[in-house]
Amino acid sequence: MDKKTAGLSDTFKKNTAPKSFIKNPIKGTKFTIAISSAKGGVGKSTFAMNFALALKTIGQKVGILDADIYGPSLPKMMSINEKPKSEDGKSMTPINQYGVQCMSIGFLVDTDTPMIWRGPMVTSAIKTFTQKVLWNNLDFIVIDMPPGTGDTQLTFAQEIKVDGVIIVSTPQEIALADVRRGINMFDKLKVPILGLVDNMSFFESDDGKKHNIFGEGGVEKTSNDYKKKFLGKIPIDIDLRVAADSGTPLVEKNPDHKISKIFIEIAKKIKQSYL
């Protein structure tokens, strides 16, 4: 006699099974490194540009992809006003600036125009930038991420092969709460965290005194708590801010500056873990 057992239909099982995603590597590069923070305004873009130029300074071929669709910073920070060319109407050639290949949504739209897009459009723009841009023979692509834990982060984590993420934070408690969320997100999505950076770590006045404006040691402590590497401290520095605003990142403008040296040290650490 036929024994019927209650069970889930194949269709139901298929629809409810955990989705497996195919992760596409970005063509034209060996390694993809994302610069992220769950909080806005902590210096991700400043870090991404200077870190990319630091990698260039130590002899790497580098590209920067500005993945901040709603608030692109790359055109201003790298002084790029031209539009990327397309030979075949399907792919785009990145723009070369300071020896680095660059791409940003800001090249395609007026930077004062707000991008009023829903999530799926952002996802589709990210896919275009990672699959349809002719990145040429790079060692590293540095991705400048938008703040938060939203569509862009999810698209990179699930559909693009990201080799590692660097988390940037400022040291005050309100930012660290977001860092913990960021760490948990990348751990959950199985994206390797290369380490944490303490930006705007302290301010050194002319008399050489250090002022811990946002508190002390919070980012390093969070790294230890989560068993992640601590990559270094970047102080609040007027030259770093002025260089970013003027369109030539400090590492490019003055590689011997003491702040540039910190970026170069971090770049060396990251290079060592890959090459």
Ligand X SMILES: Nc1ncnc2c1ncn2[C@@H]1O[C@H](COP(=O)(O)OP(=O)(O)OP(=O)(O)O)[C@@H](O)[C@H]1O
> Per CB under 6 A, which of residues 76..135 are in contact with ligand X?
none
If binding is defined by CB under 6 A, does position 249 make contact with ligand X? no
Site string (160-199) toward ligand X, x via CB under 6 A: ---------------------------------------x
Pick the binder of ligand X from 241, 257, 269, 271 (CB under 6 A). Answer: 241
CB burial of residue 117 (10 Å; 0-12, 13-18, 19+)? middle
Pick the binder of ligand X from 183, 234, 250, 266 (CB under 6 A). Answer: 234
The residue sitting closest to Mg ion, measured at its beta carbon, is 45
If binding is defined by CB under 5 A, does position 73 make contact with Mg ion? yes
If binding is defined by CB under 6 A, does position 253 make contact with ligand X? no
- Which CB contacts under 8 angstroms, 24+ apart, belong to 96-99? 98/53, 98/56, 98/248, 98/249, 98/252, 99/56, 99/62
Residue 31 C-beta: closest distance to ligand X, Å: 21
Pick the binder of ligand X from 66, 68, 178, 252 (CB under 6 A). Answer: 68
If binding is defined by CB under 5 A, does position 45 make contact with Mg ion? yes
Q: Which is nearer to ligand X, 68 or 252 (CB)?
A: 68
Instruction: Yes or no: say if 141 and 51 are a contact pair by the CB < 8 Å rule.
Output: no
Residue 200 C-beta: closest distance to ligand X, Å: 5
Residue 187 C-beta: closest distance to ligand X, Å: 21
- What tokens appear for 61 in the block? 């071929």
Which residues form the interface with Mg ion (CB under 5 A)?
44-45, 73
